[in-house]
Structure 1
Amino acid sequence: MSVRAHLFALCFLFAVPLAAFTHEQTLLEYADQCVREIGEIPPFDCNDGTDIPITIDGKPPGPNESPLRCDKPSLLSPTSEAKGQCIPFSKILNLSRGNTQISAYCRRDVLRPDKDPRYDGIVVVMHHSGNGKTCWFEAKTPPDVPASSGIVATRVPPPNERKPPAGQLSAVEFWKTPAVVATSTAKNPTCLKCHDAGPFIFSPYIGQVWDKVPTDPWGKYSSIGQAFSSYHLMTMSTPGNTCVGCHRIGSEQSCTAYLGLSVGKLNAPGGDQLATSYPLNHWMPTDNAMSNEQWDTANVASIDALLACCKDPAHKDPNCTFTPMPSSSNTRASH
């Protein structure tokens, strides 16, 4: 047998056991990694959160009203109409301590009383403001239960919890696996597609309770875990751009949705007439007190420059600077 054949045979023998030990990271393995590198998520009750207001022409809906349109709709689905964008009594919780920033969002898609224990979606973003590492968790829809029945959220378990109290769901029963959370489709893009500039996103909807949301607009930012390892986020800017004075600009959903939504070039899905009129459809800067004309004079050129960069995926425009997201282990060069 030739030397080449011997080498091929050795490679094949070594490849088999390596493949046998390769497996998808489980929820508990991922959660353990998040605890080691970021911190603990405590158990929580969604009803302890702060209500995110819903208004129509500045007024809350009636007690039995399920509005389809409102002044400040949820932008969890930023490019298309979605169920629950204007349903009252979704809640936000800030579970942060020290450098461990934890934001939990308990979403209603079906109208229920304020303190009803059932919710239709629960997501948690955990981020370390020192090392920039970030983890993502999303609740499962209970099996064999109609979707309209919701998720009982009186005790949301820590994702690394092995043995829950008697009568409570375990972490494995409650949370999706990281591989499912990381999977991106055209209809449901993964978290990182929207959170492309940082772990926490401002919008008119969440801006109503922004004091309950941890922020880290300039810190390091990277998602840990095997399922998220293929995502390499980039930020973009142009010379003298006014939009990058307060935060970074991402090159994923910021390009396809959030830039246009924040400056009136796109209408918010689920938005009423007030939502699609100035100034509510110009929500950057967040303290906007300018007239429409003043806003255009100050910002239109910067917006147009960034949108031009969005149309330059090959990064050939010399006015566009694309930079890897600052993290603890950047390996990609600037363009």
Structure 2
Amino acid sequence: MKMPASIRSFALCVIVAVPLAAFAREQSLLEYGEQCAREIGAIPPFNCNDGTDIPITVNGKPPARGEAPKLCDKPSLLHPTVEVPGQCVPFSRILNLSRGDTQISAYCRRDKLRDDKDPVYDEVVVVAHHAGNGKTCWFDSRSPVGADGIDASRVPPPNERTPPQGHPSAVEFWTTPAKIAAAKPTCISCHDAGPFIFSPYIGQVWDKVPTDPWGKYTSIGPAFSSFHPATISTPGNTCIGCHRIGSDQSCAAYIGLSTGRLPAPGNSRLANGYPLSHWMPTDNNMSRDQWNAANVRSVDALLSCCTDKIHRNPNCTFTSIPGSANGR
């Protein structure tokens, strides 16, 4: 018996729709955590209080006990273009959980002033990266509704299904990869040249941060499949000698912030003056005139490329980062 054409078409739609629906299903936190552990390396449980304090100073001096200044010499640039609470709050911490090629950096952020050893933090961010294959994962803590901060005395591995009694599970602690990818600007927009970013704030504890400025770099997981980071360069540019320059938030914020073209939100008067206003190169010990002679032309060239949306400027080279084809 021959099947009518309309039924055949319906049957074909059903057969095709099932795998498409399965493919479009959002990857869960645990699935993402397991993929990252498998392809990069497992993130161990950790206590934020085991990390290293990130110093806060105003005019070169730490604030008085119990004081959280609104402006400081080296504010956090987690939000590089807008003023947010916590940019100058003391006792945020950084941890290096790396081993071998598995590079893991954890940032435990205070938005509210608390005692140094208080186990409560306001945000926990983890970047996991493999220096060999370039694969990278992003994790950010949930913001519990109605809660005053997060108990970070035991931060669970993102793939942990059953935590020890009395501690939050991974699903309770971490947000989903889809929500991280949907944030504006997203992690990859700011980390557009590599997994780890230097700033004056984090540079104070740079020896506690893993680095891979020229290595392969790709964010794995379907939530990040639409992101394809690229870098920019121009002939003889002095700004690309130590690391790549990204074409997303590097253009929108970091080139200007690091060269005195933009004041960082949270900057003190000292931070807005030379040399703190010009923190690239990181070992800047030049006079203002020397810095200008060495770098202004290169900065102008990069910013010109940033506005070249259709890539017509022959002096601008846009290059995909090696390994940037997304892995699911």
Equivalent in the alignment of 1:44: 46
CA contact (8 A) 2:129 2:195 kept: yes
Once the two structures are superposed, residues 87-129 of structure 1 have per-residue CA deviations (whole angstroms, 9 ceiling, x without a partner) of 0000000000000000000000000010000000100000000
Equivalent in the alignment of 1:230: 226
How many angstroms apart in 1 are the aligned matches of 2:101 and 2:90?
A: 31
Equivalent in the alignment of 2:86: 84
Equivalent in the alignment of 1:166: 165
Deviation (angstroms), 1:15? 2.4
How many angstroms apart in 2 are the aligned matches of 1:112 and 1:141?
A: 17
Deviation (angstroms), 1:5? 6.7
CA contact (8 A) 2:221 2:326 kept: no
What stretches of structure 2 of length at least 5 have no aligned partner? none
Match of 1:289 among 285, 307, 314: 285
Are residues 1:308 and 2:328 paired? no
CA contact (8 A) 1:119 1:152 kept: yes
Equivalent in the alignment of 2:18: 17
Deviation (angstroms), 1:142? 1.7
Deviation (angstroms), 1:207? 0.3
CA contact (8 A) 2:49 2:153 kept: yes
Once the two structures are superposed, residues 254-296 of structure 1 have per-residue CA deviations (whole angstroms, 9 ceiling, x without a partner) of 0000000000000010001110000001001100010000000
Are residues 1:194 and 2:193 paired? no
Instruction: Tell me the SS of whatever aligns to 1:297.
Output: helix
Are residues 1:208 and 2:199 paired? no
Instruction: Tell me the SS of whatever aligns to 1:248.
Output: coil
CA contact (8 A) 1:131 1:328 kept: no
Match of 1:321 among 304, 317, 321: 317
Q: How does 1:1-335 map to 2 (within 5 A)?
A: 8-9=9-10, 11-22=12-23, 23-145=25-147, 149-185=148-184, 189-327=185-323, 329=325
Once the two structures are superposed, residues 210-266 of structure 1 have per-residue CA deviations (whole angstroms, 9 ceiling, x without a partner) of 000000000000000010111001100000101010000000000000000000000
How many angstroms apart in 2 are the aligned matches of 1:266 and 1:16?
A: 50
How many angstroms apart in 2 are the aligned matches of 1:7 and 1:310?
A: 52
One-letter code aligned to 1:251 = S
Deviation (angstroms), 1:66? 1.4
The TM-score, its normalising length taken from structure 1, stands at 0.94
Aligned length: 325
Instruction: Tell me the SS of whatever aligns to 1:167.
Output: coil
CA contact (8 A) 1:324 1:330 kept: no
Deviation (angstroms), 1:319? 0.4
Deviation (angstroms), 1:143? 3.0
CA contact (8 A) 2:228 2:325 kept: no
Deviation (angstroms), 1:330? 7.9
Query: Identity over aligned residues, as a percent?
Result: 66
Deviation (angstroms), 1:9? 4.3
1:270–1:328 CA distance, 2 compared to 1 (3 A): closer
CA contact (8 A) 1:66 1:111 kept: yes
Deviation (angstroms), 1:19? 3.6
Instruction: Tell me the SS of whatever aligns to 2:106.
Output: strand
Deviation (angstroms), 1:76? 0.7
CA contact (8 A) 2:231 2:244 kept: yes
What stretches of structure 1 of length at least 5 have no aligned partner? none
